[in-house]
């Protein structure tokens, strides 16, 4: 049994490797403990995109109209691509040999850092659309600020993603108006979805220690700084859609946040069970 030392002497680790013939690999728990604010923040970006992409992918072949089916799966594909870039960067910064696949397929729910909103199930199509709208508007303003990052890898990924997300947010806004200001039934279902998902929007704007480090280093904004722009756009679209926004206090309850630190709803476990099944059942399988 070897003692794990924080700063390994390269000469020493080389000699250990030579004697035993294999490199000592840290366990997943040790890796999780060793992640830095930079890696944590990158996982947050990658995981939110990945989990929402997985949710949207489930609509493939089941959309209520072919245009909807294609739009949702296109958005899912964009988010998957963005997630791959973030997770690849997270793995490379972490330097523990985990690539995008290891991060996506071999972490458990409490190691995921996505916002809770992205993992909520598609109980009604209205919820799918409202979830997308709340997320897209936030994602747009977040990426816009990340393009100014002092870290060139972050700004490059953000600039690329922002172009795609601009299309996402415009479509989501259109759908809110079309269904909100639609028939009596579509209006009611949209209002129910807004009321149900609203509590989860608070998490999008609550800073923690990671956010403060990101702001200090110039890697990205504090999430609290995105709230006024988000509220303004969401408010305008909701008004046009004849939908009523719940009171701001309704989004303040701590029980509806925690995803960014690994405290999730029960829904994420089921999502991961499906997403990760193949790699868990057949480790290392590829084609």
Partner 1 sequence: MIDAQQVMGWLQKVADPEIPVLSIVDLGIVREVSWDQDTCVVTITPTYSGCPAMFEITQAIEQCLSEHQIKSVRIATRLSPAWTTDWMTEQGHVALKGYGIAPPVQRAVDISGISRRPAMPPVPCPQCGSNATRLISDFGSTSCKALYRCSACREPFDYFKTH
Binding site for partner 1 (CB under 8 A): 67, 70-71, 74-75, 77-82, 84-85, 137, 140-141, 144, 152, 155-157, 159-164, 166-167, 169-171, 173-174, 177, 233, 237
Question: How near is the Cβ of 220 to partner 1 at its closest, in Å?
Answer: 16
Integer Cα distance of 27 and 59 in angstroms = 36
Integer Cα distance of 172 and 68 in angstroms = 11
Name the residue nearer to partner 1 (CB basis): 38 or 137.
137
Integer Cα distance of 155 and 248 in angstroms = 32
Question: How near is the Cβ of 7 to partner 1 at its closest, in Å?
Answer: 32
Integer Cα distance of 23 and 7 in angstroms = 16
Question: How near is the Cβ of 64 to partner 1 at its closest, in Å?
Answer: 13
Question: How near is the Cβ of 125 to partner 1 at its closest, in Å?
Answer: 16
Name the residue nearer to partner 1 (CB basis): 25 or 178.
178
Question: How near is the Cβ of 148 to partner 1 at its closest, in Å?
Answer: 13
Name the nearest CA neighbour of 15 among 6, 27, 2, 26.
2
Counting Cα atoms < 13 Å in the Cβ hemisphere of 235 gives 8
Integer Cα distance of 199 and 113 in angstroms = 18
Name the residue nearer to partner 1 (CB basis): 79 or 190.
79
Question: How near is the Cβ of 222 to partner 1 at its closest, in Å?
Answer: 20
| b/e per residue 261-270 (b: at least 16 CB within 10 A) | ebebbeebee
Name the residue nearer to partner 1 (CB basis): 31 or 51.
51
Name the nearest CA neighbour of 259 among 157, 144, 131, 110.
110
Question: How near is the Cβ of 173 to partner 1 at its closest, in Å?
Answer: 5
What's the 3-state SS for 61-119? CCCCCHHHHHHHHHHHHHHHHHHHHHHHHHHHHHCCCCCHHHHHHCCCHHHCCCCHHHH
Give the DSSP H or E segment for 160. helix 152-180
Give the DSSP H or E segment for 38. helix 37-57
Question: How near is the Cβ of 221 to partner 1 at its closest, in Å?
Answer: 16
Name the residue nearer to partner 1 (CB basis): 155 or 186.
155
Name the residue nearer to partner 1 (CB basis): 23 or 242.
242
Name the residue nearer to partner 1 (CB basis): 82 or 118.
82
Name the residue nearer to partner 1 (CB basis): 31 or 237.
237
Query: Are 140 and 162 contacting, i.e. CB atoms less than 8 angstroms apart?
Result: yes
């Amino acid at each position: 049994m070897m003692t794990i030392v924080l700063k390994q002497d390269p000469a020493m680790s080389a000699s250990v490797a030579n004697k035993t013939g294999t490199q000592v690999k840290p366990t997943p728990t040790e890796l999780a403990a060793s992640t830095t604010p930079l890696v944590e923040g990158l996982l947050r970006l990658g995981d939110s995109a990945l989990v929402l992409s997985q949710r949207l992918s489930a609509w493939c072949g089941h959309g209520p109209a072919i245009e909807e089916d294609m739009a949702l799966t296109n958005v899912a594909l964009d988010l998957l691509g963005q997630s791959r870039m973030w997770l690849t960067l997270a793995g490379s910064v972490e330097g523990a040999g985990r690539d995008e696949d290891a991060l996506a397929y071999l972490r458990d729910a409490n190691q995921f850092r996505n916002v809770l909103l992205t993992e909520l199930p598609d109980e009604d199509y209205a919820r799918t659309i409202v979830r997308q709208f709340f997320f897209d508007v936030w994602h747009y303003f977040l990426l816009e600020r990340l393009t100014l990052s002092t870290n060139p890898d972050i700004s490059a990924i953000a600039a690329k993603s922002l172009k795609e997300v601009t299309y996402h947010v415009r479509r989501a806004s259109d759908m809110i108006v079309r269904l909100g200001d639609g028939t009596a039934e579509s209006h009611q279902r949209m209002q129910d979805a807004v009321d149900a998902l609203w509590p989860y929007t608070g998490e999008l704007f609550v800073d923690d220690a990671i956010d403060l480090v990101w702001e200090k280093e110039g890697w990205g904004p504090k999430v609290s700084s995105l709230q006024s722009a988000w509220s303004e756009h969401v408010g305008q679209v909701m008004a046009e859609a004849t939908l009523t926004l719940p009171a701001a206090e309704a989004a303040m309850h701590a029980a509806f946040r925690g995803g960014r630190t690994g405290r999730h709803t029960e829904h994420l476990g089921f999502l991961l069970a499906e997403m990760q099944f193949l790699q868990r059942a057949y480790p290392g399988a590829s084609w």
